[in-house]
Amino acid sequence: MASPEELARSAARMAQGAGEILLGLFGERVGVDYKGKAQTDPVSEADRASQDFLARAIAEGHPGHGVLGEERPKDKEEAQREGARAVPEYLWVLDPLDGTKNFLNGLPVWGCSVAVLRRGRPVAGAIFTPEGEGGTIYRAWAGGGAFRGERPIRVAPDEKPTAKRIASLPAAYWSQFRPTGPLRGGLGEVRAPGSIAYELALVARGGLHYALFGGPSVWDVAAGVLIVREAGGLPLARRRGTDSWEPLEAFYPEEDAPGSLDLARRWRRSLLVGNPALSRFLAAHLRKVNRPRLWFGWRRG
């Protein structure tokens, strides 16, 4: 069995290879399909080229490991067969292109996320971003620290939001969360970059003070959660139906392991990341908004 460090190096090589494919397509006209009738969630030729490369590399380098990628096979029967497969001990979770809308519009804020879960827990991960010439790799493994290239990285130290630092919130933050108590005075200097993987990498190296995500999928955050934690941060996930947050140690606890890849695909929770004191401070003063009531109240008003 490969060690977590070896898996992280493998994930970094794969993320770099996929990133080079993406850089070659960035700024070019690429074919685009959409998920759902609303046509608001694009999947491009670049997404599929990246995931195909990653899936082949995993099959060649780590036979017997499973793969859960954001993009499902186009053929419905093939997608059903894939979804029915059991979740193995080692599962590679892939977001081949996070920030597809940014990518398609020529905005260099996107990433490729490659994570390895062992029995539901992230043990290795890498994120490619288009920073610098040829891109940049962020990587981490359980107990080994986090790195940008070959340099160790750490989360920002400030324990409360400050206008001196940049934070990342969802574009529709106001419809999902409500600040209370001291947070009413301000959440810091806020941005909405549009790529969860990229934002998690920035939190890990201290470029973003913290980040809040309304309901990411497992492929959006599997690598980034580990990288943030190994950089000294504390990822917190909101308990469903409550305003309570808990440390995200595993996506699939062993006592509640999904019986198939389709079930594993359903993971989705609100997520908050920053240094430990800041994450706990924010979690204590954020409340989930009941969106139907908010909409009803707006209509009545």
User: pLDDT tens for residues 203-234?
Assistant: 999 999 999 999 999 999 999 999 999 999 99
Q: Sorting pLDDT into bands at 50, 70 and 90, what band is 185?
A: confident
Per-residue pLDDT at 64: 92
Domains, the chain, with CATH or none? 4-152 (3.30.540.10), 166-295 (3.40.190.80)
Helices (H), 29-96: 45-61, 76-84
Per-residue pLDDT at 40: 53
| pTM, rounded to two decimals | 0.92
Mean pLDDT over 276-291 rounds to: 91
Q: What is the enclosing helix (H) or strand (E) of 22?
A: helix 4-25
Per-residue pLDDT at 301: 35
pLDDT at 43 over 80: no
pLDDT at 299 over 60: no
Per-residue pLDDT at 85: 92
Query: Could you tell me how many residues make up the chain?
Result: 301
Per-residue pLDDT at 255: 80
Residues 220 and 254: their CA atoms lie apart, in Å, by 21
**Position 219, amino acid:** W
pLDDT at 157 over 70: yes
Closest by CA position to 190, among listed 205, 178, 208: 208
Average of per-residue pLDDT values in the chain = 91
Give the position of tokens 């096979």. 73
Q: Sorting pLDDT into bands at 50, 70 and 90, what band is 19?
A: very high
Mean pLDDT over 63-84 rounds to: 89
**Position 45, amino acid:** E
Per-residue pLDDT at 291: 58
The total of other beta-carbon atoms located within 10 Å of residue 219's CB is: 24
